[in-house]
Amino acid sequence: MDVNNINRDYIVHDENQILGFFGPYRFLSNFHQCPVYFEGLLYPSSENAFMAAKTLDFDQRRQFQNIEPKEAKALGRKIDLRPDWEEVKVDIMMAICFDKFYRNRAIRQKLLDTENRQLEETNHWGDKIWGTNEFGEGQNLLGKILMNLRLMFSIHQSVR
């Protein structure tokens, strides 16, 4: 796949897997812009909400409400990090992603349409916590969260 005008052969979208949240699967990325609420504040993307959640200072959180996701990521490296961040960050990501897909019906359906494919945030920026690098190394926590949400929404949809 061509990303930033560079061919990235490790990004694969086929009937079994979605490796890399680019192109038609950009909606899976935290940088996809859509309304997301977290603890009473509205953000323009899940990236903004997640970076804001890194602090307990609501004045600092408000700084994330009207900036681009790329700016939010940079600002998230500069704020006062909450003392329990390492213990709560996965649960916070799950809550933010739940809101993103629950609130935004069109992308929730797109998530469901990925059916049982492996979702992996394959990336070239070296994130081995939320995704995997181009060598397949990483925990892919975002992909796992999205697959869990997909299952949960699928079960909910089937019992309605």
- Res. 97: pLDDT tops 80: yes
**What is the β-pairing status of strands 33-38 and 41-45?**
antiparallel
Nearest CA to 128 out of 138, 116, 118, 142 is that of 138
- Supply the pLDDT for residue 124: 87
Q: What domains can you pick out in the chain, each with its CATH number?
A: 2-159 (1.10.357.40)
- Whole-angstrom CA distances from 3 to 92, 131, 158 are 29, 16, 36
The more confident residue out of 6 and 23 is 23
Task: Write out the H or E segment, with its range, that includes residue 91.
Answer: helix 85-103
pLDDT in tens, 140-155: 999 999 999 999 999 9
Give me the chain's average pLDDT, please: 93
Tell me if 13 sits within 8 A of 27, measured CB to CB: no
Got the DSSP string for 3-23?
Answer: ETTEE-TT-EESSSEEESS-G
Is the CA virtual torsion 82, 63, 22, 156 positive or negative?
Answer: positive
Report pLDDT digits (tens) over 25-63: 999 999 999 999 999 999 999 999 999 999 999 999 999
Asked whether 44 and 33 are in contact (CB, 8 A), the reply is yes
